[in-house]
Amino acid sequence: MRPFTNRERLETMSQPTHLPSFWSRLSLAFGAFFKTLGDAEFAARVRDDQVGPIAAPPPAPAPEPKPAPAPAPLRIATPDAALQLLGLLQREARLIDFANENITVYADADIGAAARLVHEGCARVLREHFSIEPVRGELEGSRITLPEGFDAASVRLTGNVVGKAPFTGTLSHRGWRARDVRLPQLADKHDASIIAPAEVEL
């Protein structure tokens, strides 16, 4: 009969001859418990995994990434109101005529006189068809503080913008907000693209 090789001897030693019963395991557990309390060397071997490896707890599952917020739906702007406003500014202030005029051929005094007429007409349109008020109530040049969560649509930061709110700065422009709009109603078949009709003198 041939002798066991080292590999076979190790495999034979690693296989238990029989499994201990419940009461045997209970006795072993109590013995190991009290031996760990009273024998520092045995406790050190248990700590250093000499009695058997202690399974590490499974890693916690990684949190699922939050989905990116959906972009806000875009509103389709109808051009009729904008064309209607252009028509009012043209009728009252000749704004389109003034903007398309080559003013480089005129003297400053002539341009100033024309600009006065355009200014008066534009101001009349704004007064009659809009209620406009400042966005901020403070005087321009005042020092104001914008808290965290301020409305970025109504206040625009300029200059050296670093960090996060609160921001303290100087109010350079109060801004404008339309509180009310009173454009005339359009007839059903009105062509709003005709800002100003052509004029034929007879």
Regions of the chain short of the pLDDT cut 50: 4, 10, 51
The per-residue pLDDT for 114 is 92
The answer as to whether 141 is a domain residue is yes
Counted domains in the chain: 1
The answer as to whether 41 is a domain residue is no
Domain that holds residue 130: 79-151+166-181
Q: Do the strands 167-170 and 143-146 form a parallel or antiparallel pair, or are they unpaired? A: antiparallel
Hey, how many other C-beta atoms are within 10 angstroms of the C-beta on 158? 8
The answer as to whether 105 is a domain residue is yes
The per-residue pLDDT for 5 is 54
CB 195 within 8 A of CB 87: yes
The answer as to whether 170 is a domain residue is yes
pTM to 2 decimal places: 0.59
The answer as to whether 195 is a domain residue is no
Per residue in 141-200, pLDDT tens? 999 999 999 999 999 999 999 999 999 999 999 999 999 999 988 888 889 899 999 999
> Three-state SS string across the chain, please?
CCCCCHHHHHHHHHCCCCCCCHHHHHHHHHHHHHHHHHCHHHHHHHHCCCCCCCCCCCCCCCCCCCCCCCCCCCCCCCHHHHHHHHHHHHHHHCHHHHHHCCHHHCCHHHHHHHHHHHHHHHHHHHHHHEEEEECCCCCCCCEEEECCCCCCCCCCCCCCCCCCCCEEEECCCCCEEEEEECCCCCCCCCCCCCCCCCCCCC
The answer as to whether 101 is a domain residue is yes
